[in-house]
Amino acid sequence: MKLSIISLGSILALTTFVAPVTAKSWWCNGNWDDGDLHRVSFKFNGYCEGQWGQCFLYSLRAAGLNPHNWQAWKTDDGNWQVDFSIPKGKSDLANKGIEDITHVWKGCWPGQ
């Protein structure tokens, strides 16, 4: 079967629009006091979205944290947001858990 350059280009263009590839990324999204705990938030895309970000929860537990009130949801901009509470002073463990999934250290919530 012969394909012309034009039809091959059309197929490639169509697949680009039909199945876009999202780059994996994540970023810090704030923190605040939550009683005796500290609540932290981050956003991501491209990581375990079919599991609602559960890979992060498992990784946080493996890093030695027991996150309280874990919440993950898809935002209107198409990204995912995660909020959870941890003991005060344990943000480095939270960052470590996220880094184990993303392979990127961002140092969110320093000293929190």
Domain extents in the chain: 23-102
pLDDT recorded at residue 10: 55
| Cβ within 8 Å of residue 70, ≥6 positions away | 57, 82, 83, 84
Mean pLDDT (10-residue bins), the chain, 112 residues: 55 46 86 96 96 96 96 97 97 96 94 79
Helix (H, G, I), strand (E, B) or coil at 53: coil
CB distance 31 to 39 below 8 Å: yes
Mapping DSSP onto H, E and C, the string for 69-106 reads: EEEEEECCCCCEEEEEEEECCCHHHHHHHHHHHHCCCC
User: For position 111, what pLDDT does the model report?
Assistant: 80
How much is the pTM? 0.78
How is residue 52 annotated by DSSP?
T
CATH class of 23-102: alpha beta
